[in-house]
Chains A and B, each alone.
Chain A
Amino acid sequence: MFLVIGSNMTEAHPVASTFLKNAVFNGAQLIVFDPRKHKLCDIATLHLPLKVGSDIALLNALMHVLISEDIYDHKFVEFCTVGFDELKAKVMNYPPERVADICGIDAGIIRDTARRLAAVKPVMVCYTLGITEHTCGRNNVLSVANLQMLLGNMGLECGGVNPLRGQNNVQGACDMGALPNVFPGYQSVTDAAIREKFAQAWGVNDLPEQPGLMIPQMLEGLVTRQVRGFYIFGENLANTEPDIRKVEHELASAEFIVCQDIFETETTRFAHVVFPAAAWSENDGTFTSSERRVNRVRTASAPPGLAKPNWWIFKQIAQRMGHDWPSDSAQEIWDNEVSVLAPSYMGIKYTRLENNGLQWPCPNEDHPGTCYLHQNGEFTCGLGRFNAVDWTPPAEVPDGEYPLVLSTGRRLYHYHTRTQTGRCQGLNDLLGEETADISLQDASAMGIEQGEKIRVKSRRGEVTVKARVTPEVQPGMVWMAFHFRENCSNWLTNPAFDPVTLTAEYKACAVRIEKL
Chain B
Amino acid sequence: MAMVKMTIDGRDVAAPEGSTILQAAKSVGIRIPTLCYHERLKPIGSCGLCIVEVDGSATPVAACETPVRDGMEVVTSSDRLFCMRQEVLKSILVHHPLDCPICDKAGECLLQDLVYEHGVTGVEAPAPSAKFRNGYATAFLRSWPERCVLCFRCVAACTEIQGHFALSTVEGPDGSPLVAYDESKCVSCGECIQLCPTGALVEKKSERRWRNWEVEQKVRTTCPYCGVGCQQLLHVKNGRIVKVSGVEGAEPNQGRLCVKGRYGFDFIYSEERLKTPLIRENGRFREASFDEALDLVAGRFKKIIAESGSDAIAGVSCARSINEDSYQMQKLFRAVIGTNNIDHCART
Which of A's residues lie within 8 Å of B, judged by CB? 12-18, 21-22, 25, 43, 129, 132-133, 137, 164-181, 183-184, 189, 198-199, 202-204, 207-208, 210-215, 218, 221, 226-235, 237, 240, 255-256, 258, 260-264, 268, 271-277, 279-283, 285-291, 293-302, 304-311, 313-318, 320-323, 325, 330, 333-334, 337-338, 355-357, 412-413, 415, 419-427, 429-430, 498, 501-504, 506
Q: Please give 17 more A-B residue pairs, beta carbons under 8 A apart, in addition to A168-B222, A234-B320, A258-B297.
A: A164-B227, A170-B227, A170-B344, A170-B346, A183-B330, A208-B334, A212-B340, A218-B314, A228-B307, A233-B325, A285-B324, A285-B325, A287-B322, A291-B252, A298-B220, A300-B234, A423-B272
Interface stretch, picked from B12-20, B56-64, B71-79, B254-262, is B254-262
Interface stretch, picked from B27-35, B98-106, B148-156, B275-283, is B275-283
B308 within 8 A of A: yes
Contacts of B236 in A (CB 8 A): 300-301
Whether B344 lies near A235 (C-beta < 8 A) is yes
Contacts of B121 in A (CB 8 A): none
Pick the residue among A25, A129, A198, A321 that contacts B302 (CB under 8 A): A321
Whether B231 lies near A281 (C-beta < 8 A) is no
Q: Given that A165-B227, A169-B320, A426-B139 are known contacts, is A221 also in contact with B314, CB under 8 Å in the complex? A: yes
Shortest Cβ gap from A338 to chain B (Å): 5
Q: Given that A213-B343, A280-B268, A298-B219 are known contacts, is A173 also in contact with B273, CB under 8 Å in the complex? A: no
How does the 8 Å CB contact mask read for B304-331 relative to A, with 1 for contact and 0 for none? 1001101111111111111111111111
Shortest Cβ gap from B191 to chain A (Å): 8
Contacts of A279 in B (CB 8 A): 224, 267-268, 273
**How far is it, in angstroms, between the C-alpha of A337 and the C-alpha of B270 when the chains are bound?**
34
B295 within 8 A of A: yes
Whether B257 lies near A264 (C-beta < 8 A) is no
Shortest Cβ gap from B168 to chain A (Å): 15
Shortest Cβ gap from A321 to chain B (Å): 5
Pick the residue among A166, A179, A264, A300 that contacts B241 (CB under 8 A): A300
Whether A212 lies near B341 (C-beta < 8 A) is yes
Contacts of A171 in B (CB 8 A): 227
Residue on B nearest A40 in the bound complex, by CB: B163
Residue on A nearest B288 in the bound complex, by CB: A273
**How far is it, in angstroms, between the C-alpha of A203 and the C-alpha of B336 when the chains are bound?**
10
Pick the residue among A178, A261, A427 that contacts B343 (CB under 8 A): A178
Shortest Cβ gap from B154 to chain A (Å): 15
**How far is it, in angstroms, between the C-alpha of A137 and the C-alpha of B260 when the chains are bound?**
28
Whether A168 lies near B320 (C-beta < 8 A) is yes
Residue on A nearest B295 in the bound complex, by CB: A320
Whether A176 lies near B187 (C-beta < 8 A) is no
Whether A25 lies near B163 (C-beta < 8 A) is yes
B176 within 8 A of A: no
Whether B304 lies near A14 (C-beta < 8 A) is no
**How far is it, in angstroms, between the C-alpha of A320 and the C-alpha of B311 when the chains are bound?**
19
Contacts of A314 in B (CB 8 A): 325, 328-329, 331-332
Considering residues A169, A180, A311, which has the most beta carbons from chain B within 10 angstroms of its beta carbon? A169
Q: Which 10 A-B pairs have the closest CB atoms?
A: A305-B275, A289-B229, A234-B318, A285-B322, A165-B227, A212-B340, A320-B298, A14-B258, A21-B163, A276-B274
Whether B285 lies near A233 (C-beta < 8 A) is no
Whether A212 lies near B322 (C-beta < 8 A) is no
B170 within 8 A of A: no
Contacts of A43 in B (CB 8 A): 163
**How far is it, in angstroms, between the C-alpha of A368 and the C-alpha of B23 when the chains are bound?**
28
Which of B's residues lie within 8 Å of A, judged by CB? 139-140, 160-163, 187-189, 205, 207, 217, 219-231, 234, 236, 239-241, 250-253, 256-261, 263-268, 270, 272-280, 285, 289-290, 293-302, 304, 307-308, 310-348
Contacts of B251 in A (CB 8 A): 293, 356-357
Whether A228 lies near B304 (C-beta < 8 A) is yes
Whether B219 lies near A264 (C-beta < 8 A) is no
Whether B297 lies near A273 (C-beta < 8 A) is yes
Q: Given that A274-B274, A275-B293 are known contacts, is A310 also in contact with B332, CB under 8 Å in the complex? A: no
**How far is it, in angstroms, between the C-alpha of A481 and the C-alpha of B329 when the chains are bound?**
30
What are some 20 contacts across the A-B interface (CB < 8 A)?
A13-B228, A22-B163, A179-B342, A212-B340, A226-B311, A229-B300, A231-B313, A233-B325, A263-B270, A290-B228, A296-B221, A300-B236, A302-B239, A308-B290, A317-B336, A318-B332, A320-B299, A321-B336, A357-B229, A424-B265
Q: How many A-B residue pairs have CB under 8 A?
A: 452
Shortest Cβ gap from B323 to chain A (Å): 4
**How far is it, in angstroms, between the C-alpha of A277 and the C-alpha of B341 when the chains are bound?**
22
Pick the residue among A15, A21, A203, A307 that contacts B257 (CB under 8 A): A15
Q: Given that A235-B318, A283-B322 are known contacts, is A430 also in contact with B188, CB under 8 Å in the complex? A: yes
Whether B329 lies near A178 (C-beta < 8 A) is yes
Pick the residue among A226, A256, A281 that contacts B234 (CB under 8 A): A281
Whether A132 lies near B264 (C-beta < 8 A) is no
Q: Given that A178-B326, A178-B343, A290-B229 are known contacts, is A18 also in contact with B320, CB under 8 Å in the complex? A: no
Q: Given that A215-B343, A297-B322, A311-B324 are known contacts, is A229 also in contact with B229, CB under 8 Å in the complex? A: no
**How far is it, in angstroms, between the C-alpha of A159 and the C-alpha of B53 when the chains are bound?**
46
**How far is it, in angstroms, between the C-alpha of A62 and the C-alpha of B327 when the chains are bound?**
41
Pick the residue among B240, B260, B274 that contacts A277 (CB under 8 A): B274
Whether A18 lies near B161 (C-beta < 8 A) is yes
Contacts of B328 in A (CB 8 A): 310-311, 314-315, 333
**How far is it, in angstroms, between the C-alpha of A235 and the C-alpha of B338 when the chains are bound?**
22
Contacts of A202 in B (CB 8 A): 331, 334-335
Contacts of B345 in A (CB 8 A): 167, 170, 215, 235, 240
Whether A290 lies near B324 (C-beta < 8 A) is no
**How far is it, in angstroms, between the C-alpha of A174 and the C-alpha of B344 when the chains are bound?**
8
Pick the residue among A233, A274, A275, A501 that contacts B347 (CB under 8 A): A501
Contacts of B320 in A (CB 8 A): 167-169, 234, 280
Pick the residue among B160, B325, B340 that contacts A311 (CB under 8 A): B325
Shortest Cβ gap from A368 to chain B (Å): 13
Contacts of B289 in A (CB 8 A): 306
Whether A22 lies near B161 (C-beta < 8 A) is yes
Contacts of A299 in B (CB 8 A): 219
Residue on B nearest A14 in the bound complex, by CB: B258
Residue on A nearest B317 in the bound complex, by CB: A178
Q: Given that A177-B330, A291-B252 are known contacts, is A137 also in contact with B270, CB under 8 Å in the complex? A: no
Whether B227 lies near A237 (C-beta < 8 A) is no
Whether A415 lies near B295 (C-beta < 8 A) is no
Q: Given that A166-B227, A233-B317, A273-B296 are known contacts, is A430 also in contact with B139, CB under 8 Å in the complex? A: yes
Contacts of A426 in B (CB 8 A): 139-140, 205, 263
Shortest Cβ gap from B239 to chain A (Å): 5
Pick the residue among A296, A301, A337, A503 that contacts B348 (CB under 8 A): A503
Residue on A nearest B276 in the bound complex, by CB: A306
Contacts of B222 in A (CB 8 A): 168, 287, 289, 295-297
Residue on A nearest B220 in the bound complex, by CB: A298
Whether B319 lies near A176 (C-beta < 8 A) is no
**How far is it, in angstroms, between the C-alpha of A293 and the C-alpha of B227 when the chains are bound?**
10
Q: Given that A175-B323, A184-B327 are known contacts, is A168 also in contact with B223, CB under 8 Å in the complex? A: yes
Considering residues B307, B329, B333, which has the most beta carbons from chain A within 10 angstroms of its beta carbon? B329
